[in-house]
Structures are given as C-alpha cells and as structure tokens.
Amino acid sequence: MKSSAKRVRRQPLSLQELSKKKAHEQSEAPEVWELRLYVAGQTPRSLAAFANLKRICEEHLSGRYNIEVVDLKEHPQLAAGDQIVAIPTLVRKLPEPLRKIVGDLSNTERALVGLQLRPAKSED
Amino acid sequence: MTKATQRPSAANRSLPKVPSGIQGLDEITGGGFPRGRPTLICGSAGAGKTLLAMEFLVRGATEYNEPGVFMAFEETAADLTENVCSLGFDLETLVEEKRLVVDHVRVERGEIDETGDYDLEGLFIRLGSAIDAIGAKRVVLDTIESLFSGLQNEGILRAELRRLFRWLKDKGVTAVITAERGEGALTRQGLEEYVSDCVILLDHRVTEQISTRRLRIVKYRGTTHGTNEYPFLIDEDGFSVLPITSLGLQHQVSDERISSGIARLDTMLGGKGFYRGSTILVSGTAGTGKSSLAANFVHAACGRGERCLYFSFEESPGQMIRNMRSIGLDLEPWVKKNLLSIHASRPTFHGLEMHLATIHKLIQKFKPQVVVLDPIGGLIAAGSRRDANTMLIRLIDFLKLGGITAFLTNLTSGGAALESTEVEISSLVDTWLLNRDIELGGERNRAMYVLKSRGMSHSNQLREFLLTDRGFELLDAYVGPEGTLTGSSRLSQEAGAKATTLARQQEASERERGRKRKRDAFEARIIALRTEFEAEGEQAERLATQAVARDKVAENREVMGRRRHADVGKASAGSRKIPRSGNEKLGKARPAATS
C-alpha cells in the first residue's frame, strides 16, 4: 500500500540520482533526506505547502532530498502510520530523529528550524 | 438499532436518546445520551472518564448493535485493550468482528513544529474512514484536549474543534468526548462551550484516605434528569451508577411475623417475633452477643428455607462458622445448600460507595429474604459519619423496597450512651434490641431488652441471657428487692429467696397447726361442758324422780293415816302442790325431803 502511495507524486528520477551523487561527493553529510508531505486533496493550502517545500529543499538540500506526497483523501488509512492529525504535515523520515512540521511552510524561517536546517534562535 | 431509542417516557419523544447500557446511568439520564449529538464527560485524572466512554462503546456494540469508534489521544490501542480487559471487555474480538475500531492518535509537541496555516483534516479523515469502515453509530474521542498540548495554534484548534463537533452531528453519530477537569471550569480548554447538549461530571474524591466516586449531570439540554451526585463504582462488571437517592417511603409492608430464632425472645416481641421486611438493630458494647443474635436469626431463617446474605465486616466466613458452632449453631449446612452466603470484607477495603454497590449487586444476584450487616459501625471506617448515615438510609430503603428483612448490629463504644448508635440510624430501625453487660458482684453478665419495636407489644423487662454450647438462653428475669440481679449473685439471691420462702412456709404451717390444736382443745372443752351439763341434768331428773317417789310414800302415809284416821292434813296439802318445773320441784322437794 505504501509503495502505491509513494508513486502518487514523486520527484523525477534524475533528481534522486543527483541527490545520491551529491551524497557521495559530500562525505560530511552523506544521507539523503526522506521527506513525506501529507495533504488532503488539491487544496490551495496543499499546493502552497508543496511549493514551499520544494523551494526550501532546492535552496538547502539540493540533490540530497526525496519528497513523497501522500494524499489522505485517496489513502485515508495512511494517516495512522505517521500519526497525522493536522493537514498539511511534513514528516522528516530521515535523517533521524523524526520531525513533523505542520502548516503550509509559509514561514520559511520556522520551517528551517523545524527541519533542523538552522538552529533555533532561542536555543543559541 | 432503532429499538434502542424507543422508550416510553415523554422526555424521550422530544429528544431521541441512545441507551448507554451502563447500569444506572440510563435511569438518571432518562434513557441515555442524546442521539446524534456529542456528550461531554469531564473529570479529573483517574475519575473514570475513559472507562465510562469505553463501556458506552462496548455496550453499544454488544447490546444495541451499534458499532463504535474509539479514538484515543492518550493511550495506545494495546494499552487500552489491556486496561479494559479487567472489566471483562474483550476489545480484540470486537475489533475482529468489525464492531469496534480503536485508533490511537498521538500528538507530541516535541516532534512537531508549526509553520503557517493548517487544519485538522487529517483527524477528520482518520475518523471518517474509521466510521465508514464499520458503519459506526457511536464515537468516542478520549481526551481530545491533548491536541492543545500538541499543537500551539489555539485559534486554529478551537475553530477546528467547533467544525469537528458539527461534522460529527452531520454524520449522525452519537459522540462522547472526554475532557480533563479545569480550574474553576468544567474543562481545562472550555470544551463545554462547544459540546453543550449533555455534560456529565465525574468526581473522584479522597476523604480520609478512602476514595469515593461520584457522577453528576451538569446539563442535559431538552430533557429532565436527576440532578444529584450519584455514587458510582468501577469493578469487574464495569461501570455502575447507583441512582438510589430517589427511593422514598412507598414500600409495601408485611404483616407476616418471623421468628428471631430464640423462642423466648419471640415471646418478648409480642410472642411472634419480628415483622418480615422490617429493620432490626442490635446494639451493644463489645462481646454482648450481637453477632450471636444475628447468627441465630440467620439459622432460623435458613431453617425456614429462606435465603440469607450475611455481610461480615469483622470476621471471615470460616471464623464465623467456627465461632457460631461454639454456641451450638452450625451454619455450614446452610452455606452448602446455598441458602446462606457470607460475604466478608474489611470496611476499609473499599469506599462506602463501593460497599453499597457491592451490597446491592450481591443482593440482586443472591435475592435473599434476610440480610445481615455485622456491624454497621464498621462502615464509618470506610467514610465519614455523614456519608455512612446517608448510605445506610439508602441501603435500608433499598432493602425495605425489596421486602427484605434487615438485621443490623452496631457496636456501642464504651463512653457513648447505650441508646446511641454511631451512625444515628436509630430512627430508621423498626425493632431495636439492646444488649448490655451488667457488672455486679465481680462478674460481667449479659442482658438484653427490647428498646423499641414498632407495631407490636413487647416486653419491657431486662433479661439476662447466657451463651452456652446449647445456644442462646434467655433466663427468667429475676427482679428482687435489690433490683435486677444477674449471674451468681442472681443465683445466690435466688437461693436466699428460696430459703426465706421455705422458712415462711414452715412458719405458716406451724401456725396453722397451732390453730388446729387450739380448735381441737376448744372443741374438747365444749364436749366436756356439754357432758357435765348433761350429767347434771340426769342427776336432777333422778332427784326429781326420788322426790316423786317420796311424795308417793307420803301420800301412802296419808292414806294409811286416814285409814288409821290420823291427822296428817297439813303435810299432804303442801306436797300436792308440786310444780311442773324440775328446778322448783327440785328446790322445794329437797327441804321437803329433809324435813
């Protein structure tokens, strides 16, 4: 079932290959970011979230990421797996630990903090 | 499914209800929860919210053919299944049979960051798919407030919750939402604002280390409902609410009299014993034979083929049977015949409500004609005096309603007045026997009397009794000049009295004999006098005869003289005038004779 969901929206293969290649080049941070975005239908908010996510990834994780979009309208049974309550929710599967970011990612600063691409200001 | 809502009362016609299936709750709510609407259950931690909600679902699935969805925000499905297993709910089977869905929603703040706009569509989808999967009619959201701790944007949350409850109504499911009790408000997050059709408050109080659970319907729109706080308990059969405060004084009364098991005590009670269905209280200080009296009563009742339920708060069943054997009562056969059931528990083992509920449950299961509570004072240990009092009133009302004869014992503590009961239920009892000990002459003896007995003439005597291996023996009342006496002083006094009586009897017979002798003497004298008198009479007669004879001689002499022509005229004239009376004759005859 999950495999079918993965095929819903997938980044072009070239991007995936590119990320792998980049991972080899950068031995310091070799892992590929596994990201999963849960949406419910093609709502403006979902679309905005997807667009925002893609932009952030391109800027900060160019070639090292993998985005999977799950539409709960089509696969409601998948909501339980990642404990999805709010929509949209972005789940960072890898690297660990698991992180969840809810919202349309319109606040880039907070999204970066949430993804731990940038340390939170309060923690510094 | 529809049969569940069809109940006769008018209140239900105006508002369709879904029976919760929880014992007692449907009585208070007048039929259950509002159909197709959300009901809020609030209470502090450990108040029993989850269990109430779960039982609502399980009963719905098993008894009313209404499948349900349990959405747990705090416990995992596995934990939940395990937890309610102790209440006899088999969630796994229900889930397999597609009559129940348990979904655990975990929202952890540590994992979640928020950026930008969102909604709770994920939750809606999960709930919606679960409802559709089994055609659920009932939904439980167990502590949906945990969302507030997981998600920060309260504005969004509130709007979404409002949407959720509306959505649930649109779905036509009967929902139960649990919420944590808040400071100064019913719920921490003010959920009562959104769910306002029916609000039930659960309370778990601990007073003096003993907990009691209570339930109150705060609000139930469009229906009448009980407004009191009702005690409830959670045990192996699930949740049960006790709507007993509504009991009144309309019970049927019986004219039948039943023996106390002690013939002489029956005599003291108008000769026939107690009324069936009445409440009997035996109070007294320690060791005055209260339990023995109770056991006698039970023994007699079982002998009549009645069922007895004995609640012992001090002795274990085995100990009780052994001890009663020492006074010649063998209760064991009754236990074996299932006529007698002894239920022993320490008063402090449960809260009062639990006791009350246990008693209720056992009574309903065992259906006894006689119930013994030994002793009721022990129940105070399980709650406050006031609570114990309320509980006993409820219990007595309940027993009276069922026509069950209640036999209560109460320990009077040393300092208190004998006529006081610790729980002040004296006005509730119909027959009150008071056992006391009397200290006299270096001994302590047991005595009892009937303090009151409604509706029958009863003895006013203080009677001593013995507990022997032959049983309970009421002795003759000994009331001497020195008051009521007991024990050996009674025996010695009795002996003394016997001696005095004997002496008095002897004296009396002596006097009688003396009198008889006197009479005999008197009569002898009478006889003697009469004899004397008679003897004198005889002599007089003899004298008279002699006089006559002399007269005759004189006459003869005259005749002879005349023949000789002698002058004897004077002498013959006197003798001719002889009077007829003997005495005169006698008196005059003598001088005549001597002359």
Do B116 and B265 touch, CB atoms closer than 8 A?
A: no
Nearest to B122 among A52, A85, A110 (CB): A85
What percent of chain B lies above the pLDDT cut of 90?
A: 14
Cβ–Cβ gap A89/B118 under 8 Å: yes
| Residue A117 predicted with pLDDT over 80 | no
pLDDT for position B390: 74
Mean pLDDT of B583-588: 47
Strands B198-207 and B210-220: antiparallel
Cβ–Cβ gap B122/A45 under 8 Å: no
Q: What are the tokens at B76?
A: 């995992």
pLDDT for position B587: 46
pLDDT for position B6: 45
pLDDT for position B580: 53
Instruction: Name B17's bridge partners.
Output: B34
| Residue B481 predicted with pLDDT over 80 | no
What is the tens place of the pLDDT at every residue in A12-32? 445 555 555 444 444 455 578
| Residue B424 predicted with pLDDT over 80 | no
Tally of residues, chain B: 595
B116, closest residue in chain A (CA to CA): A103
| Residue A86 predicted with pLDDT over 90 | no
Cβ–Cβ gap B116/A100 under 8 Å: no
Q: Give the range among A43-47, B100-104, B176-180, B223-227 with minimum mean pLDDT.
A: B223-227
**Structure ipTM:** 0.73
pLDDT for position B442: 78
Mean pLDDT of B489-496: 76
| Residue B423 predicted with pLDDT over 60 | no
Mean pLDDT of B29-46: 87
Residue bearing tokens 């229906």: B223
B123 at A interface, C-beta within 8 A: yes
Q: What are the tokens at B13?
A: 């016609």
pLDDT for position B394: 77
pLDDT for position B584: 47
Q: Rounded CA gap, B238 and B230, in Å?
A: 16
Q: Rounded CA gap, A112 and A108, in Å?
A: 6
The enclosing H or E element of B364 equals: helix B352-366
| Residue A122 predicted with pLDDT over 60 | no
> Which of the four pLDDT bands, split at 50, 70 and 90, describes residue B534?
very high
What is the tens place of the pLDDT at every residue in B177-187? 998 888 877 88
pLDDT for position B519: 93
Q: What's the gap between Cα A30 and its chain centre?
A: 17
What is the tens place of the pLDDT at every residue in B105-155? 888 777 788 888 888 888 898 899 889 989 989 999 988 888 888 888 888
Q: What letters, b where the CB count within 10 A reaches 16 and e where it falls short, cover B200-209?
A: bbbbbeeeee
> Which of the four pLDDT bands, split at 50, 70 and 90, describes residue B69?
very high
B74 at A interface, C-beta within 8 A: no
Within 8 A of A45 by CB-CB distance, chain B residues are 117-119
Cβ–Cβ gap B113/A98 under 8 Å: no
The enclosing H or E element of A114 equals: helix A108-114
Cβ–Cβ gap A83/B123 under 8 Å: no
A106, closest residue in chain B (CA to CA): B116
Do B38 and B169 touch, CB atoms closer than 8 A?
A: yes
pLDDT for position B531: 93
Q: Give the range among B484-488, B500-504, B542-546, B587-591 with minimum mean pLDDT.
A: B587-591
| Residue A124 predicted with pLDDT over 50 | no
Q: Give the range among A18-27, B27-36, B440-449 with minimum mean pLDDT.
A: A18-27
Cβ–Cβ gap A107/B105 under 8 Å: no
Q: What is the DSSP letter of B242?
A: -
Cβ–Cβ gap B116/A49 under 8 Å: yes
User: For testing the chain A interface, which of B125, B149, B167 should be mutated: the one with the most A CBs within 10 Å?
Assistant: B125
Within 8 A of B107 by CB-CB distance, chain A residues are 83, 85
What angle, 0 to 180 degrees and rounded to 10, lies between the N-to-C axes of helices B121-134 and B154-171? 20
pLDDT for position A13: 47
B121 at A interface, C-beta within 8 A: yes
Within 8 A of A99 by CB-CB distance, chain B residues are 111, 113
Closest CA to A112 of A71, A59, A70, A67: A59
A104 at B interface, C-beta within 8 A: yes
pLDDT for position B541: 92
Q: Which phi and psi angles does B313 have, rounded to 5°?
A: -105, 5
B110 at A interface, C-beta within 8 A: no
**DSSP characters for B459-492?**
----EEEEEETTEEEEPPP-EETTEE--HHHHHH
pLDDT for position A7: 45
What is the tens place of the pLDDT at every residue in B11-27? 445 688 888 888 778 87
pLDDT for position A9: 47
Q: What is the DSSP letter of B4?
A: G
Nearest to A86 among B104, B106, B122 (CB): B122
Q: Which phi and psi angles does B384 have, rounded to 5°?
A: -80, 165
What is the tens place of the pLDDT at every residue in B308-361? 999 888 888 899 889 888 888 888 899 999 999 998 887 776 667 777 778 888
pLDDT for position B520: 94
Q: What are the tokens at A73?
A: 């309208």
| Residue B591 predicted with pLDDT over 70 | no
Nearest to A110 among B105, B113, B117 (CB): B113
Q: What's the gap between Cα B592 and its chain centre?
A: 111
Chain A to chain B Cβ contacts (< 8 Å): 101
> Which of the four pLDDT bands, split at 50, 70 and 90, describes residue B458?
confident
Nearest to B105 among A85, A89, A110 (CB): A85
Q: Among the residues of B337-402, which ranges form H helices?
A: 352-366, 385-401
pLDDT for position B8: 47
pLDDT for position B2: 43
Let me know if B252 is exposed, middle or buried by CB neighbors in 10 A (0-12, 13-18, 19+): exposed
A75 at B interface, C-beta within 8 A: no
Peptide bond connecting A95 to the previous residue in cis, omega within 30 degrees of 0:
yes
Cβ–Cβ gap B125/A102 under 8 Å: no
The verdict on pTM exceeding 0.90 is no
